[in-house]
Amino acid sequence: THCPGDRTLPLGFVVVTHFDLAVPQVPSTGCVAPMASGTADSVLLLDGGMGHLLKSQDIARFAPDLPVERQFAAAALANAAAPDLIVGLHEVYIAAGCHVITSNTFGCTSWSLSRAGAAERTAELAAAGAMLARRAADAAPRPVVVAGSLPPLGPSYLPPAADRSHAQLEEYATLAHAMAPAVDVLLCETMSSADEAAVAASAAAATGKPVWISWTLQDASDGEPRLRSGESLQAAWDRVKDIPCLQAILINCSSPGTVGAAVPCLRRLAPAGVRVGGYANGFRQTTGEWLEGRGKADINDAGDYDEVGDLLPGAYAAHAASWVRAGAGIVGGCCGVGPAHIESVSALLQREGGALEYNSCSAERRVPPP
């Protein structure tokens, strides 16, 4: 594919692996993906969740009247109110070994910010979040990719109304263009329906940046993987397969077992040149159980979790390794997965898969750090 405004990603890297199922190399297209050297398979390691790290830093002070479940807005406001804090958290993940950091922009939507009376600040805070991630990446001792997060525009896990697609496209375009100067890829994440992902990805592709799409699934470790909307992965893929610059399809904000069940399906759907993978949640209680107000079910192995229901870092690393064996080329963490988990995944990939090797590339930076 050819993308308007192409710019080669400013780095390349590889985790040399020896898993049973080879992960295909990503060939050079108009939008160049992270490169692998030689004949080795490459696995890109994403960061983990930012939300829980931010909550531990008392971000409620930026929006003191908001209940806990609405702290996404406070997290977004921190991009302007506490920029050094955001950069510092990105640096923690870089130190843990990730190759890709995600901008702190999940809460930079008009719906989320309206809860704090700041709906008009979407573009400002999205641009700030992207530049803070860029600042952390540029200061890193090794090449790091910046992914700009394009989240659901309303409540997560609820497919948006079909009659709002035009308004959604406009807001996604605003967010994507605000972040584009400072990011390397745009990540449409926690997409609950085929329509939601298609609209977000269309806006992302219009910037000329590489596009990654990540759906969230109904939590199940067997049966056909389905989006929160009830749609199949096949239906979701059919809506986005012709998106320009599409480089990865992923699963996130789902249980580790759900991600594991979906990776082989993604691998079958994705053509050569499109990576697959996932980044799961770290709670024993699944998202579906949380939404329905239910307790912990048996979908997650109790032995993988501590006494309060948080996933143990070593157990998470084992899950991630199983995804790689099934064909994943991108792994990382979502809600409840922190630096310790990412460090454990990095260590396991290096221990079982070889050493990290980086291919440095130079690239002109058009946006200075804030």
CA neighbor of 212 nearest in space, from 300, 145, 268: 145
Q: Which tokens go with 207?
A: 């910037």
CA neighbor of 351 nearest in space, from 306, 320, 308, 311: 320
Q: CA-CA distance, 88 to 57, in Å (whole number)?
A: 11
| β-pair partners for 149 | 187
Lookup result for tokens 């001792």: 141
CA neighbor of 3 nearest in space, from 245, 364, 281, 297: 245
**DSSP string covering 95-109, please?**
HHT-SEEE-S-TT-S
Annotated binding-site members: 253, 334-335
Annotated binding-site members for Zn(2+): 253, 334-335
In sign, the C-alpha dihedral spanning 10, 340, 151, 349 is positive
**How far is residue 144 from each of residues 46, 107, 297, measured CA to CA in Å?**
10, 23, 37
Using DSSP bridges, classify how beta strands 100-102 and 145-150 pair: parallel, antiparallel or unpaired: parallel
Q: CA-CA distance, 134 to 151, in Å (whole number)?
A: 19
**How far is residue 347 from each of residues 96, 98, 240, 267, 344, measured CA to CA in Å?**
9, 11, 34, 25, 5
